[in-house]
């Protein structure tokens, strides 16, 4: 297998580059990796296992890494004084108040505590890229009372709910606000809804036959005995299956141009690793960008404060949610104040304020679990030099 890795690495981060190369060797696709330290780019790599599909300006679908990006957008709006974390969602979005949702707050939404996780009854004629259709459905939906006030990962609903709040509060769509922020921070490629002019930069997602079958099985009915066995472990199969629209379980959807061009802020962000790392670098440096505050210290310091230490009702581990981000998962090093968001397949981004570190990783081969197995090794390598 011909491994082609290009880019630059500062000497003290050479072990990160070596680990990145080994990871590429293990899988069929490619990736890009970027690390910032104290506001400076110290690792900027890209490559693949011989397909020559990854280039310096390549972008990839980041799946749930998008949730951290859209959370940052909402924080920017709130930091400007247009809303407060304890505002009722319905204060900004009156149609949301029906069916037991009138008292739900922005803080609860950011910490996955609204109980609004089900997409099981979404009409078949409402495609994922139909913003008004999806939001109309969510506005009329009812929360699961067992999950209100408890951490229960909003697998796909999160981005639409946060995105509509951004629109109602700021008057700007997610895509519009993201492009404004990309200009402010000089990001080289970060989109929730890729314009036609940038489509050629998007590297397609690769999946093996085994990976395709695994996704397809998520849509199949689960037998009574299997359900009972999983329930003993605290896993509610019906709840998990209902949280994902059936149309999202069609494997080829991930490369559908309509999904890439649409606005689905839980899972269709497309980015370079460079842009993710730079965005999180601002958060790792207490909101400071080029010597000036981009977010207030008060706002950013809250991201290191765990809002709930209970086990998440959906993913069944302690995510330690903190305003739209989760804890970091590292093999050896303590990262109590670190935060970020990982995505299905291995992509992810995070900030670690104590070390002033940030990282972005984008992959196009499904190489890890939803918790980002691929990221664990890179986290450990990065933290060991700081």
Measured CA angle at 268 (ends 115, 246), to 5 deg: 60
For residue 234, what pLDDT is reported? 45
For residue 233, what pLDDT is reported? 41
d(CA 237, CA 108): 24
- The alpha carbon dihedral of 83, 275, 298, 317 has a sign of positive
Q: What is the H or E stretch that residue 351 is in?
A: strand 348-352
Tens of each residue's pLDDT in the chain, 386 residues: 678 899 999 998 888 888 888 888 877 788 999 999 999 999 999 999 877 789 999 999 999 999 999 999 999 999 999 999 999 999 999 999 999 999 999 999 999 999 999 988 899 899 999 999 999 999 999 999 999 999 999 999 999 999 999 999 999 999 999 999 999 999 999 999 999 999 999 999 987 666 656 655 555 444 444 344 334 344 455 666 678 887 787 778 889 999 999 999 999 999 999 999 999 999 999 999 999 999 999 999 988 888 989 999 988 889 999 999 999 876 666 677 899 999 988 899 999 999 899 999 999 986 554 334 445 556 666 666 66
The domain spans of the chain are 4-205+252-383
For residue 79, what pLDDT is reported? 97
Q: Which fold has domain 4-205+252-383?
A: Beta-lactamase (3.40.710)
Nearest to residue 114, comparing CAs of 156, 137, 147? 147
SS (H, E, C) 136-166: HHHHCCCCCCCCCCCCCCCCCHHHHHHHHHH
For residue 230, what pLDDT is reported? 37
pTM of the model: 0.91
Strands 60-61 and 292-293: unpaired
Q: What is the H or E stretch that residue 45 is in?
A: strand 40-48
């Amino acid at each position: 297998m011909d491994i082609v890795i290009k880019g630059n690495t500062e000497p003290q981060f050479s072990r990160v580059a070596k680990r990145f190369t080994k990871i590429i060797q293990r899988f069929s696709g490619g990736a890009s990796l970027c690390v910032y330290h104290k506001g400076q780019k110290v690792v900027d790599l890209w490559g693949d296992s011989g397909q020559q599909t990854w280039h310096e300006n390549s972008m990839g679908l980041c799946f749930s890494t998008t949730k951290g990006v859209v959370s940052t957008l909402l924080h920017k709006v709130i930091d400007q004084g247009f809303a407060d974390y304890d505002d009722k969602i319905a204060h900004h979005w009156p149609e949301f108040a029906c069916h037991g949702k009138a008292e739900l707050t922005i803080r609860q939404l950011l910490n996955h505590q609204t109980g609004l996780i089900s997409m099981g009854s979404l009409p078949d004629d409402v495609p994922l890229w139909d913003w008004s259709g999806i939001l109309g459905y969510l506005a009329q939906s009812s929360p699961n009372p067992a999950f209100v006030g408890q951490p229960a990962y909003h697998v796909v609903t999160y981005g639409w709910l946060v995105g509509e709040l951004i629109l109602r509060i700021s008057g700007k769509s997610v895509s519009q606000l993201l492009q404004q922020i990309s200009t402010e921070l000089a990001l080289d490629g970060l989109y929730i809804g890729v314009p036609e002019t940038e489509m050629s930069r998007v590297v397609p997602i690769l999946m093996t036959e085994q990976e395709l079958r695994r996704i397809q099985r998520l849509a199949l009915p689960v037998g009574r005995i299997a359900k009972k066995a999983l329930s003993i472990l605290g896993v509610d199969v019906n709840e998990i299956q209902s949280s994902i629209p059936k149309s999202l379980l069609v494997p080829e959807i991930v490369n559908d141009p309509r999904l890439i061009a649409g606005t689905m802020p839980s899972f269709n962000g497309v980015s370079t690793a460079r842009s993710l790392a730079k965005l999180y670098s601002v958060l790792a440096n207490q909101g400071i960008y080029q010597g000036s505050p981009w977010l207030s210290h008060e706002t950013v310091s809250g991201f290191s404060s765990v809002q709930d230490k209970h086990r998440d009702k959906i993913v069944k581990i302690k995510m330690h949610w903190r305003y739209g981000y989760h804890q970091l998962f590292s093999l050896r090093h303590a990262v109590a104040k670190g935060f970020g968001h990982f995505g299905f397949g291995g992509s992810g981004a995070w900030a670690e304020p104590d070390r002033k570190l940030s990282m972005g990783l984008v992959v196009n081969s499904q190489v890890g679990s939803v918790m980002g197995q691929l990221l664990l090794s890179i986290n450990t390598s990065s933290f060991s030099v700081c």
